[in-house]
Chain A
Amino acid sequence: MAAAATTSDILTPLMTRVAGGDREALRQLYDATSAKLFGVCLRILSDREESEDVLQDVYVTIWRRADRFDATRASVTTWLSTIARNRAIDRLRARGPLAYAEPVDELEIPDGADSAETLLSAADDRNRLHGCLSELDERTAKVIRTAFFEGVTYEALAQRMDAPLGTVKSWIRRGLAKLKGCLQS
Chain B
Amino acid sequence: MSEAPDLSESEAFAAEHALGVLNARERGDAEARMAREPAFAAEVEAWRERLAPMYAEVAAVSPTHELWRRIERSLPANDNAATTGRVRFWRNSAMGGFGLAAASLAAIAVILAQPPRIVTEVREVRPQGELISASLTATSGRAVPLFVAAYDPDRQAVIVTSLLPEGSNPQKVQELWLIAGKENPKPLGFLEPGRSKIIPVQTDMAGKIAAGAALAVSIEEPGGSKDPNGPQGPVVGVGELAKPV
Q: Which residues of A contact B62 (CB under 8 A)?
A: 34-35, 38
Question: CA A93 – CA B183 in complex, angstroms?
Answer: 14
Interface residues in A50-108 (C-beta closer than 8 Å to B): 51-52, 55-56, 59-60, 63-64, 66-67, 73-75, 77-78, 81-82, 85-87, 89-91, 93-94
Are the C-beta atoms of B7 and A180 separated by less than 8 Å?
Answer: yes
Are the C-beta atoms of B23 and A21 separated by less than 8 Å?
Answer: no
Q: Which residues of A contact B16 (CB under 8 A)?
A: 154, 172-173, 176
Q: Which residues of A contact B33 (CB under 8 A)?
A: none
Which of B21, B71, B76 is the most central at the interface, judged by chain A CB atoms within 10 Å of its CB? B21
Which of B2, B3, B52, B81 is the most central at the interface, judged by chain A CB atoms within 10 Å of its CB? B52
Interface-lining segment among B143-151, B163-171, B202-210, B214-222: B202-210
Are the C-beta atoms of A55 and B52 separated by less than 8 Å?
Answer: no
Question: CA A135 – CA B202 in complex, angstroms?
Answer: 33
By secondary structure, the A interface counts as: helix
Which of B2, B3, B49 is the most central at the interface, judged by chain A CB atoms within 10 Å of its CB? B49
Are the C-beta atoms of B4 and A182 separated by less than 8 Å?
Answer: yes
Are the C-beta atoms of B75 and A63 separated by less than 8 Å?
Answer: yes
Q: Which residues of B contact A135 (CB under 8 A)?
A: 1
Q: Which residues of B contact A42 (CB under 8 A)?
A: 61
- Report if B22 contacts A (CB, 8 A): yes
- Report if B113 contacts A (CB, 8 A): no
Interface residues in A17-66 (C-beta closer than 8 Å to B): 18-23, 26-27, 30, 34-36, 38-40, 42-43, 51-52, 55-56, 59-60, 63-64, 66
Are the C-beta atoms of A176 and B60 separated by less than 8 Å?
Answer: no
Partner of B58 from the list A39, A52, A59, A86 (CB cut-off 8 Å) is: A39
- Interface size (B, Cβ < 8 Å)? 55
Interface residues in B67-99 (C-beta closer than 8 Å to A): 67-68, 70-72, 74-76, 79-82
Closest 7 CB pairs of A and B: A21-B79, A181-B4, A21-B81, A35-B60, A129-B53, A90-B204, A126-B56
- Interface of A toward B, CB cutoff 8 Å: 1, 18-23, 26-27, 30, 34-36, 38-40, 42-43, 51-52, 55-56, 59-60, 63-64, 66-67, 73-75, 77-78, 81-82, 85-87, 89-91, 93-94, 112, 115-116, 119-120, 125-130, 132, 135-136, 144-145, 147-149, 151-155, 157, 172-174, 176-183
19 contacts between A and B (CB under 8 A): A1-B55, A23-B72, A34-B67, A36-B60, A38-B60, A43-B58, A74-B45, A75-B49, A75-B52, A81-B52, A93-B204, A119-B56, A120-B57, A126-B57, A152-B20, A154-B16, A154-B21, A177-B12, A180-B15
